[in-house]
Amino acid sequence: MGMSATSTPIQADEFGDFDSPVLKRLREAWDNFLEESCGPREVIRAINWAQQQVDQHINKLQRQVDSGVSNPLSQTFQTIARAFVEHLNALQLMRKEFRYPPGSPLYQNFFEQGYERAQEATNQMVQAHQNKLQNIQQKGWVNCPLCGTRNLRSDHQCAGCRKSVPEIVALLSSARAREHFTPSPSEQTELTQVYLRIRSAVLEWLCGKNTMDNLLGILDQVFQQLENHLVNLEEQFSRLQVGTSEGEASRVVLLQSQEAIESALYCLEELERAALQDPPRPGLVRLRLQELETVAKNTQKADSNS
């Protein structure tokens, strides 16, 4: 926590965890509380400070998108944005620490659970940075989908199966893949339609024109629609001709469709979770809606490039 999209990754400890100023502040406040050198108020103050830091970073991410500095469609950006949202969820859990006495059956070590989630989110952010650096280092390489051999993009032939490397690169692109496998128009536009439907329902709920029950009913319908789509994709996977260039091309496109649907389901689950919080978190709902829009735009962009 406390990292921007351009920060240099810090070193992990012996357990593979990464630290940050916000985690340190929370940890120190909790240790002081356990040592009885401070009271609950100081812990809550540290949590409030941590939320201010996260809110500032989320606002910074939005400014970077608005100014064109950051690409909201990139995997790194989306991972970091989701990690900040997970930090907010973790802080919300920490706030419940002093709601029940330790002897109560409702008490569940809320602060420590929240801290673990915040630690996981920090690790995800750092890992996103490391993956980006690794992708930059490996962008000159391509793995052959037919034999798995790693080749330089500048090579003329695959060192394993002797397939033309330029053809392999083209095969791995969605544009070439869709020459062998073209989704139906309903598949190409499904996520866009889902986003527009959810956007309308959420905006009506936010302005009081729609009830929570109606919103949840629409979410349930969309969940079922997307889950049915995943079942259809599995059936298409089972019909692929394994070992052929056409089959491999189709597999690439099916995997892209599967990833997009699963990303949309994740966004919807977290949107529903934010709406059901007590009290509801409209800001988080809007952020989840923006993530869903990003998934839809990313899919639409891939379709237009085919």
Contact 138, 152 (CB under 8 A): no
Residue, of 276 and 180, whose pLDDT is higher: 276
Q: The pTM is what?
A: 0.45
- Quick one: pLDDT at residue 36? 92
Q: Which pLDDT score is estimated for 181?
A: 40
Q: What pLDDT band is residue 11 in, cutting at 50, 70 and 90? A: low
pLDDT band at 5 (very low <50, low <70, confident <90, very high): very low
Q: Residue 216: is its pLDDT beyond 80?
A: yes
Confidence label for 239 from pLDDT (cuts 50, 70 and 90):
confident
- 3-state secondary structure at position 121: helix
Give me the percent of the chain exceeding a pLDDT of 70.
Answer: 75
The predicted pLDDT at position 290 comes to 85
When mean pLDDT is compared across 130-144, 149-163, 257-271, the lowest value belongs to: 130-144
d(CA 73, CA 301): 10
CA geometry: angle 224, 229, 231, nearest 5 deg: 95
pLDDT of residue 225: 86
pLDDT tens-digit map of 92-107: 999 999 988 878 888 8
Residue 164 has pLDDT above 60, yes or no: yes
**Rounded CA separation 168/171 (Å):** 5
Contact, 174 vs 256, CB < 8 A?
A: yes
- Model confidence at 249, in pLDDT bands (50, 70, 90)? confident
Q: What is the mean pLDDT of the chain?
A: 78
Could you tell me the two tokens for 160?
């394993």
Give the tens place of pLDDT for each residue, 262-291.
888 888 888 888 888 888 888 888 888 888
On the CB side of 138, how many CA atoms lie within 13 Å of its CA? Answer: 10
Helix axes 40-66, 21-34, angle to 10 degrees: 170
Give tens-digit pLDDT for 23-37.
Answer: 999 999 999 999 999
Q: How confident is the model at residue 189 (pLDDT cuts 50, 70, 90)?
A: low
For residue range 250-262, list pLDDT tens digits in order: 777 777 788 788 8
Beta carbons within 10 angstroms of residue 56's beta carbon: 11
Task: Please report the pLDDT score of residue 146 as a whole number.
Answer: 65
Q: Which of 88-97, 109-118, 120-129, 140-149 has the lowest mean pLDDT?
A: 140-149
pLDDT top residue among 22 and 78: 22
Among 132, 158, 136, smallest CA distance to 145 is for 158
With 0-12 CB in 10 A as exposed, 13-18 as middle and 19+ as buried, what is 173?
middle
Burial pattern 153-167, b for ≥16 Cβ within 10 A else e, equals eeeeebeeeebebee
Following DSSP, what letter does each residue of 42-81 receive, concatenated?
HHHHHHHHHHHHHHHHHHHHHHHHHTTSS-TTSHHHHHHH
Residue 63: predicted pLDDT: 78
